[in-house]
Chain A
Amino acid sequence: MPIQDNVYGALLISAIDFILSFVIIGGIGLLLAAFPLLNRLGKLDDESLKKPH
């Protein structure tokens, strides 16, 4: 186990996990903020998607 099994280890793992979670979720947020750019590629029509070939 890379982290010691004591209270210090629990504090360390919590701090790293909490901060990293913010960074990664923030990254997902940034990615989602760019999603409207996808619409420049074109438009998908619901009715045409539902039709089989």
Chain B
Amino acid sequence: MFAQLIDLMNILKDQTGLAQLSWGNVFMIGVGITMIYLALVKKYEPFLLVGIGFACAVANVPGSGLTQPGGLFYYAYQGVALLIVPPLIFLGVGAMTDFGPMIASPWLVILGAAAHLGIFVALIGAKLLGFTLPEAGAIGIIGGADGPMAIFVTMKLAPHLLPQISVAAYSYMALMPLIQPPIMKLLTTKKERDIIMEKPRQVTRLEKIAFPIIIAIIVNLFFPPIAPLITMLMLGNLLRECLLVDRLAKTAANEIMNIITIVLTVAIGSTMNAEQFLTLKTLEIVALGLVAFMFGTGSGVVMAKIMNVFSRGKVNPLIGSAGIASVPIAARVSHMVGNRENPQVYLIMHAMGPNLAGVFGTAISGGILLALLGVR
């Protein structure tokens, strides 16, 4: 009788997830809970970390089936895997973004290319650590500081690295205010940080409407690999700038963006299972991501210093770091560092130009990378 009871209990236990629960799962559940803690208590990117942390914790409970076909997390991941989610995020970003500062200061867009040296430092570093070239390319794109683009390129080059790369990219974007200022101060003098830049010109409505149309045509013509993202970015921006369809623009910027954020965060978190995540490769990718962000920040500042010399002291080098993308966090960091140095220094509008150019810089680097590796 007692032995029969034990057998029944064992059968019951085997039906639960307890039988498959590993120490790795327990650790990753802890990681998920830590993310939720950081979001709620430390206010680190709560819109991203709450969903990622929750999905990470639940996905590591064996037996839930949410990440298997039939489970909702599985279908959320399909939205990422089939590259539906990243272009929709770009639609929302386009509808939220005023490209006026970029149009007003065309010479500053070069900072959007300069601040991407980190991509290539991380790419070469990853290759030296033994990653394949497509894997190294996907890791390098973390340095582009653009979450949807990092996901897009990773899904094309090394989809098995999506959890590590997306977590590294979004985490470092959240940590920009900590990573960038020491490098910016190290590479600039007090005199340079004090430079007050001239007010940019006013951009007309006609220019703002022409911008998304012209850029969408050029990108589709010359960069088909990244056209799905930039096209949606430009569509969202056209909805915003034409003024007539503000309902659509608001829907893209709010409702669609919010829904897609939930789907994206759940999808990323659900891929963070212990077997795939708790490896040496994860540590290497996280370290390379940090190196990429540091070099990107540094190269942007150095380029802005060069521009300052050629413009005879008209460019505050602090705006160079904004070229790394991560809109608008990096632009805010440029402004914050300058404003703390001298309360009369207002860099936000000046930094937004290179910051927005950084989105194109990441897209162009990613597009060239895909083309050179023969991926469409």
Q: Please, which residue of chain A has its CB at the minimum distance from the CB of B215?
A: A28
Are B372 and A39 within 8 A (Cβ)?
no
Are A2 and B374 within 8 A (Cβ)?
yes
Q: Interface residues of B, CB < 8 Å — how many?
A: 50
Residues of B within 8 A of A (CB): 102-103, 106-107, 109-110, 112-114, 116-117, 119-120, 123-124, 126-128, 132-133, 136-137, 140, 201, 203-207, 209-211, 214-215, 218, 222, 242-244, 246, 357, 360-361, 364-365, 368-369, 372-374
Are B243 and A3 within 8 A (Cβ)?
no
Nearest-CB distance from B215 to chain A (Å)? 8
Partner of A3 from B206, B210, B372 at Cβ < 8 Å: B372
Partner of B368 from A5, A10, A11, A17 at Cβ < 8 Å: A17
| A11-B124, A38-B210, A44-B205 known; A32 vs B106 contact (CB < 8 Å) | yes
Cα distance A36–B213 in the bound complex, in angstroms: 16
| A29-B109, A50-B244 known; A44 vs B206 contact (CB < 8 Å) | yes
Are B243 and A49 within 8 A (Cβ)?
yes
Residues on A with beta carbons closer than 8 Å to the beta carbon of B211: 35
Q: Mark A3-29, 1 if CB is under 8 A from B, else 0.
A: 111110111011111101110111011
Cα distance A7–B131 in the bound complex, in angstroms: 10
| A21-B116, A31-B214, A46-B243 known; A1 vs B133 contact (CB < 8 Å) | yes
User: What are 13 A-B interface contacts by the 8 Å CB criterion?
Assistant: A2-B372, A4-B133, A7-B128, A17-B119, A18-B117, A31-B214, A35-B210, A36-B201, A36-B207, A39-B204, A44-B209, A49-B205, A49-B242
Are B207 and A14 within 8 A (Cβ)?
no
Are B210 and A14 within 8 A (Cβ)?
no
Cα distance A2–B123 in the bound complex, in angstroms: 17
